[in-house]
Structure 1
């Protein structure tokens, strides 16, 4: 999938230890955003997502939105990144998620990079 540009991933490392990762499908859907517990609250998720968003916009300058199926735990984190809830919580194959999206046009991309 990576070779076919169906998905791309970015990582954040502390020396050789992977401490954060983001993956996007089709340059428009967050399929993974993770930061090791020891490294949370240091801006890693924000930085990873900002870089990923930058790459998505480079790939598709007309991109209108980014979506994510957030765990209930991560909803506040995605809200801080600029996402809003786009539907009711849903359970699929025993996994509950909240559909969320970010409207690219309504967000100030420069703010995400700080």
Structure 2
């Protein structure tokens, strides 16, 4: 398994993966407003795509024989914005490998960052707890997107 930043020519495959996994595991728990918000604000958003290309968002991918199988995207270097793993690769430690790679990157390049945050979906809560994240408030909802704010001390 190779872990690296997603290149410009790999972004479409990454977004396809994110959308497939979201629709299968997250969307059933969301209202139509939440699904539309996610699709329009992330998948179809040219500014998000441009931000990934220009480095405003750091999109890391896990690749199996050149095929992207997992994605974790960071905003402001210390906030997990997206984390999705292909159905066939879940529960194999790939999400943890991505997270550990990002933690090592942060520790190596940003001495001033001591915490990583995430707004976990209800589906992702168990995953983030297994990494050592703790809830910092109860579940919230914005634009139909349900989330639980969490933090991890580096």
Q: Which has the larger strand fraction? A: 1
Counterpart residue number, 2:84:
34
Deviation at 1:77, TM superposition (A): 0.4
Per-residue CA deviation, residues 59-101 of structure 1 (Å, 9 max, x unaligned), is 3112111000000111110011110001111100011100000
Cα gap change, 1:17/1:3 in structure 2, threshold over 3 Å: closer, same or farther? Answer: closer
Counterpart residue number, 1:9:
59
Query: In the alignment, is residue 75 of structure 1 matched against residue 125 of structure 2?
Result: yes
Instruction: Find the structure with the greater CA-based Rg.
Output: 2
Stretches of 4+ aligned residues off by more than 3 angstroms: 2-5
Deviation at 1:3, TM superposition (A): 5.0
Hey, what's the Cα distance between the residues in 1 that align with 2:55 and 2:108? 14
Counterpart residue number, 1:109:
none
SS at match of 1:31: strand
SS at match of 1:61: coil
Q: TM-score under structure 1 normalisation?
A: 0.84
**Structure with greater contact order relative to length (CA < 8 Å, sep ≥ 6):** 2
Q: TM-score under structure 2 normalisation?
A: 0.64
Q: How many residues were matched structurally? A: 104
Cα gap change, 1:85/1:20 in structure 2, threshold over 3 Å: closer, same or farther? Answer: same
Unaligned regions of 5+ residues in structure 1, if any?
105-114
What is the Cα-based RMSD across aligned positions, in Å? 1.3
Counterpart residue number, 2:21:
none
Deviation at 1:4, TM superposition (A): 4.5
Hey, what's the Cα distance between the residues in 1 that align with 2:52 and 2:111? 21
Per-residue CA deviation, residues 18-45 of structure 1 (Å, 9 max, x unaligned), is 1111111111000111111111111100
